[in-house]
Amino acid sequence: MIESFGVSDPGCIRGNNEDYFLLLPSAGLYVVADGMGGAQAGEHASRLAVETVRDVIQKAPQPASPDDLLDAFAEANQRVAKDAAADPSREGMGTTLVAALESGKDLFIASVGDSRAYFFNGSKLNAITEDQTWVNEVGRRLGLDDDTLRIHPMRHVLTMAIGISGQLRVHHYHVPTSPGAMVLLCSDGLHGVTPDEEIRAILAAGGTPEAICRKLIEQARAHGGPDNITAVLLKIHN
């Protein structure tokens, strides 16, 4: 059994919220997206991508499989790209996408972009996903140190996003679960400003998924909340 909660906040600077999330326990599906694009294109992209994943999973034979989730990501990529091509005001729009799908006793995680999934086992916090960003895929391989990367002009550039390329690269992971463990899905409005140790401390303090999510949002806002902030927490029970 999984207990879940999600919350999204515009942050302290932005007037709109381009993040979008979904909890669909009946299908064992949990999703976070962080849109990008001019005007309201980012908001549209994130919502369209998440709703596409939901639709594909709901139409699949139940319980849905990891392959169904990968198919859902591919369909979301096509729909966002098609929608952007049909409306000049949405040219260049796209979104990150990270999703968790119950798969037997495990979770199957799929991700595109830099929204993350973390696993917390009661003491240690580990990132499950790998960011598809210039910093992670190019800068680190060039040997640039963290201080340089933190202020590098390419630090916010994604190397992959939903709706941007026909050659979609989806990272995916099988995650064994155990009672008491937690899985956190979040946008970079949380992990980009809140150090992992602070996230770990909030998870370690315990509480309901709702209480924990709200504390995470508060912590990101305490760091200035420069971006939209979304947290979805899954708490594993027996």
Number of domains in the chain: 1
Rounded distance, CA 231 to CA 32, Å? 8
What is the pTM (predicted TM-score) of this model?
0.94
**Measuring CA to CA, how many Å separate 197 from each of 34, 123, 186, 207?**
23, 11, 15, 18
pLDDT score recorded for residue 133: 83
pLDDT of residue 9 exceeding 70? yes
Residue 84's φ and ψ, nearest 5 degrees, are: -65, -40
**CATH number of the domain that residue 87 is part of:** 3.60.40.10
Which residue type sits at 203?
Answer: L
pLDDT of residue 149 exceeding 70? no
Asked whether 9 and 17 are in contact (CB, 8 A), the reply is: yes
Instruction: Express each pLDDT in 34-61 by its tens digit.
Output: 999 866 799 999 999 999 999 999 999 9
> Length of the chain, please?
238
pLDDT of residue 8 exceeding 80? yes
Q: H-helix or E-strand containing 173?
A: strand 171-176
Three-state SS at 95: strand
Rounded distance, CA 6 to CA 25, Å? 12
Residue 103's φ and ψ, nearest 5 degrees, are: -135, 90
64 DSSP assignment: P
**Domain boundaries, position 62:** 2-236
Surface-to-core class of residue 3, CB atoms within 10 Å of its CB (0-12 exposed, 13-18 middle, 19+ buried)? middle
pLDDT score recorded for residue 40: 75
Would you give the distance in Å from CA 159 to the centre of its chain?
Answer: 15
Rounded distance, CA 149 to CA 2, Å? 37
Rounded distance, CA 132 to CA 170, Å? 9
Instruction: Express each pLDDT in 213-225 by its tens digit.
Output: 999 999 999 999 9
Which residues pair with residue 182 across a beta bridge?
120, 235
Output the six-digit token pair for 155: 């630090």
Q: How confident is the model at residue 137 (pLDDT cuts 50, 70, 90)?
A: low
Instruction: Express each pLDDT in 152-205 by its tens digit.
Output: 565 667 899 999 988 999 999 999 999 999 999 999 999 999 999 999 999 999
Q: How many helices (H) and strands (E) does the chain have?
A: 7, 11
Asked whether 155 and 193 are in contact (CB, 8 A), the reply is: no
